[in-house]
Amino acid sequence: MGDDGHLIEDCIFCKILRGEIPSFKVFEDDKTFAFMDINPVNEGHALVIPKFHAENLYATPDEWFGPTLSTVRRVATAVNAVVQPEGINLLQANGPGAKQSVFHLHMHIIPRSATDGATMNWDLVPGDMDAIGELAKKITAAIE
């Protein structure tokens, strides 16, 4: 779906929504679709997408973003109950610097264990509190 809400031709997730590419669906409602990742980080790795084509979170209207997050919570709760991991990461990437590979908003639900070796965690290193405070003021002023 482009800005007018239509699915676009060359997006792999739009093709999944149209049924042109098979998927292992775990949930669907009028605004969202959840399915298993076929290149999982760990067992139970799932994806949630809106049924609206928007490249990333910046381009996704609230009317689609809110329901997508509600579905993320529902599916993550089910994954947690079935897989019983030590934890779950939610991952949503925007742009090449964040390693976004499919340019249709999507949220990864990734079951985790402390010893799985997945490298999306980082060490806690205190930052410059004055610089953080100044940046917080700038970000607050930019919120629409």
Express each pLDDT in 114-139 by its tens digit.
Answer: 999 888 766 767 887 888 888 878 88
How far is the C-alpha of 121 from the C-alpha of 103, rounded, in Å?
Answer: 23
Annotated catalytic residue: which of 45, 53, 104, 106?
106
Planar angle of CA 95, 125, 128, nearest 5 degrees: 85
45 is catalytic: no
Q: What is the pTM of this model?
A: 0.87
Express each pLDDT in 30-63 by its tens digit.
Answer: 999 999 999 999 999 999 999 999 999 999 999 9
How far is the C-alpha of 35 from the C-alpha of 49, rounded, in Å?
Answer: 9
What structural domains does the chain harbor?
A: 12-118 (3.30.428.10)
Contact 31, 64 (CB under 8 A): yes
